[in-house]
Chains A and B, each alone.
Chain A
Amino acid sequence: MVETLQNLALGFSIALSPPILFYAFVGCVVGTLVGVLPGVGPLAGISLLLPATFGLDATRAIVMLAGIYYGAMYGGSTTSILMRIPGEAASVMTCIDGYAMARKGRAGAALAIAAVGSYVAGTVSVVGLMLLAPPLASFALRFGPPENVALLVLGLLVLAYMSGGSMLKSLSMAALGLLLGMIGIDQMTGFFRFSYGVVELGDGIGVVPVAVGLFGLAEILATAGLPAPPRVIQPKLRELLPTREEWRAAAWPIGRGTVLGFLIGIVPGSAHIIASFVSYAIERRLSKHPEEFGHGAVAGVAGPESANNSATSGAFVPMLALGVPSGAIPAVMLAAMMVHGVSPGPLLIKQQPDLFWGFIASMYVGNVVLLILNLPLVGLFVNLLRIPYPILYPSVLVFCVLGVYAVNGSVVDVWIMLVMGALGYVLRKLDFETAPIVLGVILAPMIEMALRQSLAMSDGRYAIFVTRPISATLLSVGLVLVLLALRPLVTRGLDWRARLAIAEKGEGEL
């Protein structure tokens, strides 16, 4: 412990030195911008800026790239809350309740809660990263394909809790998402599936164009279709800050989201994006007022926003402790380290204590910077809502197209976004929720890959899922969840979903 504190002191002496502080600041600002721009996520942002870091020394480069990563997680909530456009894929869940809060005139509160939740999650998870990195990393490595299957199946079960309306409707949307996720090269055999000769479709349907289309474009289309334009919200200064009740409602979701996000983040190969989906589902399940979800529940913003931030720190655990990337973004950062002649690996902490502890300390500093950066910006961002719709929406549309194009430089992605926008509009009119589609698109290729890898490992024997302790445990948890969900059938009681349906019916009649 004393040693850790000494090391941390060394880290802070590096992180607070003006040049490192400067690069952390630049990273955070760029990250916030990347997060705010619809479509452009942290991966695209880091990839675009990676070459610019080649001239820097290793610590500066890593500190700046990490700043972009967690900065994007802060910034991603902004457009989700204000315009229902996910700034990056992890913000999809924030769109639902964050935007609903904004429509109720609580945009400022939602933004502030997202920023504070991100700050708490960011800071607490760095403590976790610092103290637990080596043991957690070796544990995380035990997650092979069978464990990932179990984890992802749990993620799918979560679908059932995600949306409020009819179970049939949300499951059919999930099925549609899973089907869309099947498009692309079959990773196990090299077959192109449903690509119809379009080489770009070989990589499958990207999450970003789907999310931006289904949420952002559909919202714009729906607004355009209204008989009268919606009232322009005029936020008042004193309404910017969350009320005492809102803080109280946010506290536990932030705590739970932090822990959950961190744990999902460290697992290599799993989707870090699902942290925010799972957090949303858990909050809804635990809430005393599940009917508020979808209509501006504070917990629906606080939980997922915290979860996606702490997942970013979690993702650094295997990278720093073992030199093993847990996802696409840490992989790019590992490459950045190699460019600077730092060979990432299990010996990094011993061989490059300056880099490791400087990096850790810079994450504490970076989170403070982001909080200072984001809270005052809340007032500024909220004013975007004052812009009249005929000006606001066309410009947003342009940014969506640019952002989605910029990620892969692919026109095919733009088309996917446009088609998804039209589809999202139709589905909205028919009262379908679209979030399960996004989750399906994310999960389908991962579950399929992990399932088939597991079976390749076991030579086709399904026993592999129950003979490995971690996957057996996870699957049992899933089974318990299913049994709990079936309970109302047996006891004939009304579950929250049924109560909700009744409540909504009542609303409709009013």
Chain B
Amino acid sequence: MRLVALVLCLVAASLVSAQEPYPTRPITMIAPFPPGGVADLTARPVAAAMEKALKNPVGVVNKTGAAGAVGMQFVATSKPDGYTLLLALSSISIIPEADKLFDRPPAFTVDQFAPIALISADPTILVVPAAKPWKTAKELIEDAKKRPGQISYSSSGVYGTLHMAMELFSHATGAKLRHVPYAGAAPALTAILGGHVDALASGPAVVLPHIKSGALRALAGWGDKRVAALPDVPTFKELGYPDAEFYIWAGVFAPRGTPEPVLAKLRETLRVAVADPDFKGAMDKLETPIVFKQGEEFARFFEADARRLAAGVRKVGKIEAK
């Protein structure tokens, strides 16, 4: 008897919750990278601003591992109810492509996600140590063509975002460089500052202080516009290489199958959130430009970017041991 009553109670509760407006309980935003990384540093102000707009708690949980695959897989397979969201970076489109390359069961696929909104997009820029002879991108490209595979660059890891940026550059310009992967963007920067490699593609914020101090020289950017903080640095597009376009971006996703009213609510919330002065202040401090796109616009950006990256991964192919 008691059991029946309990079951009835549960059923009643679930019926009520189905009709309740979203959200009624705390929302979790998964940052698939450790605290202090770009994903985490973007997720926290986004979550805070969403919390303000929704008047409902939004917590950030770092679920890290396997270059983000663990956290992304977690969201891909979680209940599509709008209570588990993902703050993903460009690598979301790279990981499934790399899985395909190695014939392994993919940790997740991009169509397991419903894109909600793009928060920021930062073009990478090409830097070299100031002691190196190349003053312009053109000089570097010509030198690299003269001695293919002799000029080296560091990256955040194989098939990582910084690797992909350089691969797109190589493919667009025909300059072949030698890849020395590191375990993360920070050690890759350390390597170029120590003069152990000759070039690096990096997000502008982390290299700006070193460009200002004169340790590094910026040659060109991957964006469709010049970086505001570096007005003298041309884009590859201007230099005649329109295919070398690449952004480190951050966007919010939900698991595919999340009901449309919930998605609409989330889109609206994020639109309010990015206009929040506290959020703007936080992103200013990170020197990361807010680039907000939602709905169709974001979907198009996401698809174009995923296509570029998939092509990039395929071009790199499997790296065979030499």
Contact = CB atoms under 8 A, between A and B. Distances in A.
A131 interface: no
B190 A197 contact: no
Nearest to A189: B319
Contacts of B34: 47, 328, 332
B53 interface: no
B210 A346 contact: yes
A194 interface: no
Contacts of A326: 190
A143 interface: yes
B318 A189 contact: yes
Given A191-B102, A449-B183, A456-B180, A347 B36 contact: no
Interface stretch (A31-39, A103-111, A165-173, A333-341): A333-341
A197 B69 CA distance: 12
Given A141-B194, A343-B208, A192 B102 contact: yes
A192 B318 CA distance: 12
Interface in A34-61: 46-48, 50-51, 54
Interface string A340-375: 110111110000000000000000000000000000
Number of chain B interface residues as a range: 35 or more
Interface stretch (B59-67, B116-124, B164-172): B59-67
Contacts of A336: 36
Nearest to B47: A51
Given A345-B212, A346-B213, A190 B158 contact: yes
Given A268-B190, A339-B285, A190 B159 contact: yes
B51 to A, nearest CB: 13
B35 interface: yes
A197 B67 CA distance: 15
B65 A51 contact: no
A167 B189 CA distance: 40
A51 B37 CA distance: 12
A115 to B, nearest CB: 29
B196 interface: yes
Contacts of B311: none
A51 B318 contact: no
B209 interface: yes
B134 interface: no
A470 to B, nearest CB: 11
Contact of A188 (B158, B189, B197, B212): B158
B130 to A, nearest CB: 12
7 contacts: A145-B180, A190-B319, A323-B209, A331-B36, A335-B35, A410-B70, A457-B152
Interface of B: 34-37, 40-41, 44, 60-67, 69-70, 73, 98, 102, 104-105, 107, 149-150, 152, 157-159, 178-184, 186-187, 189-191, 193-197, 205, 208-210, 212-213, 215, 282, 284-287, 318-322
Interface of A: 46-48, 50-51, 54, 141-145, 185, 187-192, 197, 199-200, 202-203, 268-269, 318, 322-326, 328, 331-336, 338-341, 343-347, 408-410, 449, 453, 456-457, 459-460
Q: Return the 9 tightest CB-CB contacts between A and B, nearest first.
A: A345-B209, A335-B36, A144-B196, A202-B66, A341-B285, A141-B194, A332-B36, A47-B35, A189-B319
